[in-house]
Structure 1
Amino acid sequence: MPTKTRSRRPLRTAFLAGGLALALTAVGATAWATDRFLIEHVEISDVSSYEAENSSVDPTGTTVTETGAVDGDTYSDGETSVTVSQVVSGSGDDTLTYYVADVVLSEATRLRSAFAKDQYGENVTETTSGIAEDNDAVFAINGDYYGFRDSGILIRNGVVYRDSPARAGLAFYTDGTVQVYDETTTTADVLVADGVWNTLSFGPALVLDGAAVGGIEDVEVDTNVGNHSIQGEQPRTAVGVIDENHLVFVVVDGRAEGYSRGATLTELAQIMTDLGAQTAYNLDGGGSSTMFFDGEVVNRPSNGGERGTSDILYIAE
């Protein structure tokens, strides 16, 4: 009886086809990730002109001039003032270094937002100091890195850019009040009609009604991998509200042994309450955490230099 021989060609063909499918899937995933998180997608190429045409608010205010020097520098025009100080606590590996900017505004609209390269879109980035210099800022901090995500309500300088509610946001009103709010319970148009000047969409909220928020270490800002970097001891950026038109900004340095270990979200909340904040909100941190004042970056960004970001909050000279 002749011996039957089983051909392996179909198996090998199937294996090659399966491997090719996996390879194509991997290539597709890489291409998608590159397009989504790396390649610039500009939607508005001249934000300054766009805001001039679309904002319903006419920002006014006087020029901020220098009256101080060195640590504890104060810039003031008699109405709007910015005072920056460095705080160092602990020692050795437990050293924590952060910078505090106490800001009193003559009008709420003196605090403005600016986008990298004066463009709106995904993955458009520039250093905090670069954006600040482009806008003649005397003071600036990094914002919420809106261009990394495609969700959240985004209102800047009275203009709606995105209405995709997703999380707890922060709203700055033209009357000087600032509130944490649930994006999913409202719309961008309603917020603007109610007098919202700027919104930030990152979080979590750190302080409410003068008390640190519990459970903030477990809050998820995003469902993507970027969320995980907000946990543990990290460089941080936060904004707090002491009173109407009286704000406090904090940038915590981190990932630098012997200089600053970084802060947990709970520690950041405590810093904000100690400064008198009745409301406080966490912004983009890590390598983005940057404070610009009087023509220079005053902190030490953890990347060894500034990392590009998509937006800043600033006060112009």
Structure 2
Amino acid sequence: MAGRGELTDAAWGRIEPLLPQVDGRGRPWRDHRQVVHGVLWRLRTGAPWRDLPERYGPWQTVYERFARWEADGTWAKLLEHVQVHDDAGGGRVEWIVAVDSTINRAQQHAAGARKRGTQTGDELEDPGRSQAHQALGRSRGGLTIKVHLAVDGRGLPLSIVLTPGNVNDATAFAVVLDVVRTPRVGTGRPRTTPDRVLGDKAYCSRAIRHLLRRRGIAATIPERRDQVANRRRRGRFGGRPPAFDRETYRDRNVVERCFARLKPFRAIATRFDKLADRDRAGVVLASLILWLRETAR
């Protein structure tokens, strides 16, 4: 029987065959399920790794496994696998995608990661991977991080991007859309194009509407008041208002509900990790749990 916050037998059966079976250094693995439950305990409580209960084994082992599987992409592959098979199993992935972001406070010790090399390019060109910038922004509220999500019609994450908290939503939109990528079970290119994108007024810009139109994606994004006033002020030169369906827009709250399901993981609601890589891996793992709860029933 699974304990509080741990994986059920059905959920574990979905991911166990996909976990690495060979250490690579000639040593036997500690029980994978015990280690994964230890990572989930820390993710749920936000406690320091050193405070991990003994029932999960040595904290160094649990942290090392968590970090190694972040580095080799194991966590991301698990999430991708669940998405792929859910989409193939009757096309249950709903491709009316909602986008939004949430700002999380960063604990003071999350800053100060050692910087390696020099910063090259913009943070958004390689989200969450820059050693020189650990996706931390400073505002009057202190250090913050922003988690951008694109979720399907059921509120399950398809795309996860981390930026500093002072990055505008519209600025990160193109990256969030580019990360949407669901491979096919058989042959064929991965699906990267939603049928429709739902976004709030923060995403109302000509650049975003042009990007969606160029990719053949319908948009349901309301206009801001200043844009409406400016268009009316210009009269017939202001052009026609963009199409907007209020009934369809009501479905945008699935992304808000997704954030509400992620925030009980305290290590996501507040950032404790110094490295953006580790922080994003936590969001990926929490998203995997949401997918497993929806599909492994």
Quickly name the TM-score band, shorter chain normalised: under 0.3
Name which one, 1 or 2, has greater alpha-carbon Rg. Answer: 1
When you count helix as a share of all residues, which structure comes out higher? Answer: 2
The normalised TM-score by structure 1 is 0.25
